[in-house]
Chains A and B, each alone.
Chain A
Amino acid sequence: MAARVSLFVTCIVDQLFPKAGMAVVEVLERLGFPVDFPEQQTCCGQPAFNSGYREEARQVARHFLDVFRGAEYIVVPSGSCTSMIAHHFADIFQAEPQYLEQARQLAPKVFEFSQFLLEVAGVEDVGARLDEVVTYHDSCHALRELKVKDGPRRLLSHVRGLELREMDAAEECCGFGGTFSVKFAEVSGGMARNKIDSIVRTGASAVVSVDSSCLMQLQGALSRAGLPIRTLHLAEVLASR
């Protein structure tokens, strides 16, 4: 029997993009993985950590560790949150041996969604179909902290009817950056517009990524510019048939 998967849906997907979360469940169940959603979960603590509030980040991270204690696998539809849990928990618990140990034990069990499909499930073709020209946005933390680069592209290459057109600025930041997007709104908006120029040049009608926060930034800017291009979480693409 396949291993039990605990879904950490992330606060942003829970509150704003539930369809992406449901798509993750659908794909995992289609592949035969029983999915469990620990209802006590909230956030990984990254907003506080990135804003310099280490103690507040620790409080939320402790809650996370307690909720997911004993999980076999944790799947996260976000490169950024995965990296927070797998890499940065160890940074913030340097002075708390008990939680440091918990964080270390948990780290190898945490997988960004596409990582889980390729590395644990060992699947490239999930049987999806989507007749659309898409381009892929490398979210910074998935790309640079988790080294997720080819995986999502391999998964997309098996989607029937789908054409992936690479943009020249695929690896350039969308400008979100958490509170950066509102603290330095004009800079962040400018970065998004640069990225959009690159997206438009591909002629794609959708942008795909593994992070809903990047997609929120990009969709917000696309919508503001009046461009008929939609954003899709990788899971939404893989769930369609």
Chain B
Amino acid sequence: MSAVFDDKIQTTLADGKLQLAIYTATGRLIEKRRKAIMPEGCPDYQELRTHANAVKRHTIDHLDYYLEEFARNVEAHGGKVVFCKDGQDVADFVLRLAKERGATLIVKSKSMTTEEVDLNERLEHHHLESVETDLGEYIIQLAHERPYHIVAPALHKTREQVADLLTDKLGVARETVIEKQTMIARAVLREKFLSADIGVSGANFLVADSGAVVLVENEGNARLTTSAPKIHIAVAGIEKMIPRAQDLGVFLKLLGRSATGQPLTVYTSFLSGPRRGDEIDGPDEFYVVLLDNGRTKVLADREKRESLYCIRCGACLNHCPVYRKIGGHSFPWIYSGPIGAILTPQFLGVNHEPALPFASSLCGACAEVCPVKIDIPKILLELRSEVKEAEQRQGANRLERIAFRIWAWVMRHPRVYELAGMAAASLAPATDGGAWVRSLRTAIQPTPLRAWLSQRDLPPSPPKSFRQMWRER
């Protein structure tokens, strides 16, 4: 494990306030989802998941076809499609367009894809102001942090912390009532909406047969972002595709319920092209940036391709007991939780943080709640195997490899296995009447045992193994 990863985990675990904030916030989201998928309100929840999985599998398996269809339909509506290889490509495109149009201010609605390519930082580097307009994202931007959670970026911030932040950054009087904090942000952001030259959004779905970008949100800021400025740029990963507008119903039902426990989000925008001649609102120019940034590499891997089915609902984060302990910022990339643990090694390589796929008890809660049925534990296991293959090539972690080789040999030799068990038992400290062991007083203290004992007591060694008891009965 890298020192950075370990350090972030320890810091989060040691922060009692933060622990409570994470546990409470995710607990609330778990409860909301649980209610939203109950048979009374959503009788066909499991069928929806099965259907969504089938649609995603089909789309991802035929992504080339749907990308072409989507691009054709966007252009037919007067929009433009821009294919980008990576973050640099995206930034270059936005900067060039801004320069050509004399734009100086960008408003942004929430988008993990733009976070993925550090778009704000890249634009600011060229003195182009880019303001986040989703409340959570705005808070995070003011704090110069990264989103803590795919859906709830400021999940870790208490209202007191937000009050301090607003006072510090905006010079307003300290305000701890959330509604009033919202009004402060709203006043600032309204001005930005009215003077922005370009609106940048993400995309929850790309609809191939309609050439449309679909956005879901609760604050109305995405609708303003995409209609107030003269130019709208939607930045989307190529995997956001679904074939037909009629497939949308299934995904909208699942996304709102899985993410926030809502049958449907407050706003659902279906954006297909710039403002037509007789329409009263909408942008003059409409661009869809389709981003690869490693997705085609994942697409090429049949075993793990299903990672691209993800619709970014965040349910796996909320239900992950590890995420609920270590929080979002411990994860090495912008995507956290179980989905982050499978996306990061695939996008950035297994060496980026080799310990990441191992930071899971493989409990499977993520797969159980995934609305598109991504088998996250299976992919974690694949990635673990890839990490070990990489270590073997690099000659790393030799001791562990040798230990497992010896272990496997012992397990194929029952007599040796039994003797090894007896030897270990004879070394174990004697306890009174089978009491559990609190500490080792032996000269040799193997690391795994020390780690175990740092948290829990050890079982006492029984006088006889099962096989001995079996023989003697």
Residues on A lying within 8 angstroms of B by beta carbon are 9, 11, 13-19, 21-22, 25, 37, 39-43, 45, 47-54, 56-57, 59-60, 63, 91, 140-141, 144-145, 171-173, 175-192, 194, 216-217, 219-221, 223-224
How many Å lie between the Cα of A14 and that of B411 in the bound state? 13
Can you list 6 contacts pairing A with B, beta carbon distance less than 8 Å? Answer: A18-B468, A51-B384, A52-B381, A53-B404, A145-B364, A173-B361
Interface contact A51-B455, CB-CB below 8 Å: no
List chain B residues, Cβ under 8 A from A40. Answer: 414
CB-CB under 8 A from A190, the residues of chain B are: 13, 325
Q: Does B442 contact A (CB under 8 A)?
A: no
Point out the residue from B362, B404, B414, B456 that lies within 8 Å of A223, measured CB to CB.
B456
Convert B313-335 into 0s and 1s, putting 1 for each residue whose CB lies closer than 8 angstroms to a CB of A: 00000000110011000000000
Chain B contacts with A in 190-239, Cβ cutoff 8 A: none
Q: Is the CB of A221 within 8 A of B358?
A: no
A18 near B455: Cβ-Cβ < 8 Å: no
Contact A42 B417 (CB under 8 A): yes
With A52-B384, A180-B361 as contacts: A224 and B456 at CB distance below 8 Å: yes
Instruction: Tell yes or no: B458 within 8 A of A by CB.
Output: yes
Bound CA span A192–B464, Å = 28
Least Cβ–Cβ distance between B337 and chain A, in angstroms: 13
Once the chains bind, are B465 and A18 in contact (CB under 8 Å)? Answer: yes
Taking CB as reference atom, which chain B residue is nearest A50? B362
Residue among A9, A14, A172 having the largest count of chain B Cβ atoms under 10 Å: A14
**With A and B bound together, what is the CA distance between A157 and B454 in angstroms?**
37
Q: Is the CB of A144 within 8 A of B363?
A: yes
Which of B438, B462, B464 has the most C-beta atoms of chain A within 10 angstroms of its own C-beta? B462
Q: Are A192 and B455 in contact (CB under 8 A)?
A: yes
Q: Which 9 A-B pairs have the closest CB atoms?
A: A177-B361, A189-B455, A220-B456, A52-B384, A173-B363, A52-B388, A56-B408, A18-B466, A182-B451
CB pair A56 B405 closer than 8 Å: yes
Q: Are the CB atoms of B454 and A185 closer together than 8 Å? A: yes
A17–B465 alpha-carbon span in the complex (Å): 8
Give, as a whole number of angstroms, the nearest-CB distance from A167 to chain B.
15
Listed in ascending order, the chain B residues whose CB lies under 8 Å from chain A are 1, 9-10, 13, 23, 321-322, 325-326, 355, 357-365, 367-368, 378, 381, 384-388, 400-401, 404-405, 407-412, 414, 417, 421, 424-425, 435-436, 438, 447-448, 451-452, 454-459, 461-462, 464-470, 473
Q: From A17, A40, A223, name the one whose CB has the most chain B CB atoms within 10 angstroms.
A: A223
Is A54's CB under 8 angstroms from B13's CB?
no
CB-CB under 8 A from B357, the residues of chain A are 52
Contact (A140, B363) CB under 8 Å given A43-B411, A175-B321: yes
With a CB–CB cut-off of 8 A, which chain B residues contact A183?
1, 355, 358, 451
B31 → A minimal CB distance (Å): 11
In the complex, which of the residues A16, A194, A219 has the most CB atoms of chain B within 10 Å of its own CB atom? A16
Residues of B within 8 A of A53 (CB): 385, 388, 401, 404, 408
Contact (Cβ within 8 A) B412 A184: no
Chain A interface SS verdict (over half): helix
In the complex, chain A residues whose CB is within 8 Å of the CB of B421: 14-15
Knowing A173-B363, A185-B452, the reply to whether A59 touches B408 (Cβ < 8 A) is yes
Residue contact B385 to A54, C-beta cutoff 8 Å: yes
Give Cα distance in the complex from A180 to B9, angstroms: 14
A51 to B448, CA, bound (A): 14
Query: B462 contacts A16, CB within 8 Å?
Result: yes
Which of B400, B409, B448, B462 is close to A18, meaning CB atoms less than 8 Å apart? B462
> With A45-B411, A50-B381, A59-B412 known to touch, is A13 a contact of B456 (CB < 8 Å)?
no
Q: In the complex, which of the residues A63, A181, A192, A224 contacts B438, with contact meaning CB atoms closer than 8 Å?
A: A224
Task: State the Cβ distance, A36 to closest chain B Cβ, in Å.
Answer: 10
Contacts of A186 in B (CB 8 A): 9-10, 13, 454-455
Contacts of A39 in B (CB 8 A): 414, 467
- Which residues of the partner chain A approach B425 to less than 8 Å between Cβ atoms? 15
Known A-B contacts A185-B452, A189-B455; the reply to A16 vs B461 at CB < 8 A is yes
Counting chain A CB atoms within 10 Å of each CB, which of B9, B411, B425 scores highest?
A: B411
Residues of B near A56 (CB, < 8 A) are 404-405, 407-408
Chain B CB within 10 A, most for which of A19, A42, A183: A42
Q: CA–CA, A150 to B118, complex, Å? A: 48
Write out the residue numbers on chain B whose beta carbons fall within 8 Å of the beta carbon of A11.
411, 417
B462 to A, closest residue via Cβ: A18
Contact partner of A48 (CB less than 8 A), chosen from B368, B408, B435, is: B408
Q: Are B466 and A187 in contact, with the CB atoms below 8 A?
A: no
Q: Are B407 and A48 in contact (CB under 8 A)?
A: yes
CB distance from B9 to the nearest CB of A (A): 7
Say whether B364 contacts A18, CB under 8 Å: no
Contact A191 B325 (CB under 8 A): yes
Q: Are A144 and B459 in contact (CB under 8 A)?
A: no
Q: A224–B322 contact, CB under 8 A?
A: no
Q: What separation, in Å, do the CA atoms of A50 and B363 have in the docked complex?
A: 12
Q: How far is the CB of A116 from chain B (nearest CB, A)?
A: 18
- On whether the beta carbons of B364 and A144 are closer than 8 Å, the reply is yes
Q: Which residue of A lies closest to B438 (CB)?
A: A224
Chain A residue with minimal CB distance to B322?
A187
- How long is the Cα–Cα vector from A91 to B303 in the complex, in angstroms? 11
Whether A220 pairs with B457 at a CB distance below 8 angstroms is: yes
A residues less than 8 Å from B461 (CB atoms): 16
Contacts of A178 in B (CB 8 A): 361-362
Distance A13 CA – B466 CA, assembled complex (angstroms): 7
A145 to B461, CA, bound (A): 30
In the bound complex, residues from chain A placing their C-beta under 8 Å from that of B368 are 144
Given known pairs A41-B414, A175-B321, the reply for A19 and B462 (CB within 8 Å) is: yes
Task: Pick from A48, A177, A179, A184: contact of B9, CB below 8 A.
Answer: A184
B325 CB to nearest chain A CB (Å): 5
- Whether B411 and A189, one on each chain, are in contact in the complex, defined by CB atoms closer than 8 angstroms, is no
Contact of A9 among B385, B401, B462, B466 (CB under 8 A): B466
A181 surroundings in chain B (CB, below 8 A): 361, 451-452
User: Are A189 and B408 touching (Cβ within 8 A)?
Assistant: no
Complexed CA–CA distance, A13 and B467 (Å): 10
Closest chain A CB from B55 CB (angstroms): 24
How far does the alpha carbon of A45 sit from the alpha carbon of B364 in the complex, in Å?
A: 19
Determine if A192 and B456 form an interchain contact, defined as CB atoms under 8 angstroms apart. yes
Q: Is the CB of A140 within 8 A of B364?
A: yes
